[in-house]
Amino acid sequence: MITLAVVWLVFIFLFGSLCYLHWRISRKDVPHFGGMPAYGKPELRWVQSDVTAEDLDSLVKDFSNRFNSYVDVQNKLSRNSNRLQALGYLLAGTAALVSFVVTLLTICGGVPNG
């Protein structure tokens, strides 16, 4: 019976650690894309083209906005997924804790066996 109590302690530690890990991960977000340097600067214009610097800047801003919207959605999904996993580990750890207490009570003679 002592071995069973030790096994429950290992499960409590394992589930508690995983719960804490997923909760911490759920609080971290991928940063937004900051864009590119201005294309209007002469030292950055390497290729002759009909495209103006303003056109390039507007394309980069449009890409940046769309990409950041995608990043926001992925951050939200990741946050919710990790919080749900943390909740599952919390429930599993609670069940292991209850089982540990019942095992200890059985060993000490507080709960009848069988």
Asked, for residue 42, whether it belongs to a domain, the answer is: no
Structure tokens at 19: 């719960």
Asked, for residue 99, whether it belongs to a domain, the answer is: yes
Altogether, the residues listed in the chain come to a count of 114
Structure tokens at 40: 């209007």
Cα separation, 99 vs 29, in Å, equals 36
Q: Which domain holds residue 21?
A: 2-29+55-108
Asked, for residue 63, whether it belongs to a domain, the answer is: yes
Asked, for residue 35, whether it belongs to a domain, the answer is: no
- The residue among 19, 3, 10, 2 whose CA lies nearest residue 96 is 10
Q: Does residue 83 contact residue 26 with C-beta atoms inside 8 Å? A: yes
pLDDT in tens, 68-106: 999 999 999 999 999 999 999 999 999 999 999 999 998
Q: How many CA atoms lie within 13 A of 22 on its CB side?
A: 18
Report angle CA 59, 42, 38 to the nearest 5 degrees: 35
Asked, for residue 34, whether it belongs to a domain, the answer is: no
Split into its structural domains, the chain has a count of 1
pLDDT in tens, 14-73: 999 999 999 999 999 999 988 665 555 555 555 566 767 677 788 888 988 999 999 999
